[in-house]
Structure 1
Amino acid sequence: MEGPRLRELVVQALSSVEHGYDLLAPKFDATSFRTPDWLLAATITALREYGPFERGLDVCTGTGAGLEVLAETTAERPTGVDFSMGMLEQAREAHPEADLVRADARALPFEAAYDLVVSFGALGHFLPGERLALFAGIHRALRPGGTFALPAGQGPRPTHPAYWMLTGFDLAMRVRNAVWRPKFVMYYRTHPRPALLRDLTEVGFVVATTPMPGVGELIVARRNQLSPGAGSSQAAERR
């Protein structure tokens, strides 16, 4: 598959998030934005100590990379949710066995329906003030005792050129969104680990982590067996 040309990427970047991904969808899997197979494999391995799981949901599924994790870790037909119809069409071609739902991840239409929720590479599309709604919706979607698994890679240090490349990208995106509409929300440095653990705890998750050698760690947020819904406050733990 041939990846998108520069002009196509520019058009996408000047669009809204939803329309931009509709445009990019047919060539998305040929870009570096797709979740790499090594990260999917590491997540599958890390999840084995927390299973078995019956039913799974991939939030912001895109073309369906996370559905591959659910196929290996859950017993029932997996579900993927995304708000880009173009991305869902690609996911349907690649994963005809999955149930695919179009919805905004900040208002998930599920209630105590899943044992496992995963999400890959999506946090940059949510502003810090939107994370609580995202995590609260995931909490509601889980059955009591259910697990939300969120891979967290090792970010580059300030001494590494990649650190400044990501910082420069975020700065350029802030300038773009200040002068251009519609906004395209995609940032790399707006979801540091302490903020994620705090927000997950605030909506009612009990949070732990497990190492993924060579990758980083898997944040494992579990809905309390006795909790009737989101909103309780639990202390974050490190496994």
Structure 2
Amino acid sequence: MNGPTLRELAVQGLSSVERGYDLLAPKFDATPFRTPDQILAATADALGTHGRFERGLDLCTGTGAGLGFLADLTTAPPTGVDFSAGMLAQARKAHPDADLVRADARALPFDAAYDLVVSFGALGHFLPEERPALFDGIHRALRPGGVFALPLGRAPKPTHPAYWLLSGFDLVMRARNAVWRPKFVMYYRTHPWSALCADLTAAGFVVETTPMPGVGELIVARRPPG
């Protein structure tokens, strides 16, 4: 499948987040934005040390890259949630047995329903001031003792070209959002580990990390039992 053209990416980038992903959905899996299989496999290996789970939720599932991963870790069919109807349509084609829900991740419609929640590559779509509502909703969606698993790649150092590439992307995005509406929120350098840990702890999670060799680390945030 051919990826999007530069014109299609430009149209997406000048749209809202929801509309942009609706437009990109049919070609999303041919872009570098899809979660790499290496990260999915490393996350599965790291979570394997925490046992098997009954029900799992893939937050901001997109076209469903995380749904197959969840199916191997849970006994019940996985659930995916996203607010882009276009992305969910693609996920439904690839994972017809999954339960797919259209909802805003900042207002999840679940209450103590899942043992495991995962999210891949979506944090950049949430501003720092939106994380408390996001993490509160995830905490509420988990059963007591449930786990929120959040893989984080290694942050590049200033001596690495990727550091300046990501910083430059964020700068361009801030300039775009200052002069263009609707905004398209996607930033790479707004969620350092220390800030995530503080926000997760404030939401009531007990936070630990598990190394993922060659990839980064997995944040394992557990809703305390009882």
TM-score (norm 1): 0.94
How far is 1:32 from its partner?
A: 0.1
Mapped partners of 2:115, 2:77: distance in 1: 12
Mapped partners of 2:44, 2:162: distance in 1: 27
Aligned to 1:234: none
Matches within 5 A, 1:1-239: 1-226=1-226
Secondary structure of the residue aligned to 1:49 is helix
Residue by residue over 1:135-190, the C-alpha shift from the partner in whole angstroms, topping out at 9 and shown as x without a partner, is 10000000000000000110110000110010000000000000000000000000
How far is 1:69 from its partner?
A: 1.6
The letter for the 1-side match of 2:109 is P
How far is 1:52 from its partner?
A: 1.3
Mapped partners of 1:75, 1:158: distance in 2: 43
Q: How many matched pairs?
A: 226
**What is the root-mean-square deviation of aligned Cα atoms in Å?**
0.4
Residue by residue over 1:102-141, the C-alpha shift from the partner in whole angstroms, topping out at 9 and shown as x without a partner, is 0000000000000000000000000000001001000000
Mapped partners of 1:162, 1:52: distance in 2: 36
Secondary structure of the residue aligned to 2:130 is helix
The letter for the 2-side match of 1:159 is T
The letter for the 2-side match of 1:98 is A
Off by >4 Å, runs of 4+ in structure 1: none
Mapped partners of 2:51, 2:59: distance in 1: 19
Secondary structure of the residue aligned to 2:71 is helix
The letter for the 1-side match of 2:56 is G
The letter for the 2-side match of 1:60 is C
Q: Which runs of 5+ in 1 are unaligned?
A: 227-239
Residue by residue over 1:65-122, the C-alpha shift from the partner in whole angstroms, topping out at 9 and shown as x without a partner, is 1112211100101000000000000000000010000000000000000000000000
The letter for the 2-side match of 1:34 is R
Secondary structure of the residue aligned to 1:80 is strand
Mapped partners of 2:156, 2:144: distance in 1: 36
Percent of aligned pairs sharing the same letter: 78
Q: Which runs of 5+ in 2 are unaligned?
A: none
Mapped partners of 1:31, 1:52: distance in 2: 31
TM-score (norm 2): 0.99
The letter for the 1-side match of 2:27 is K
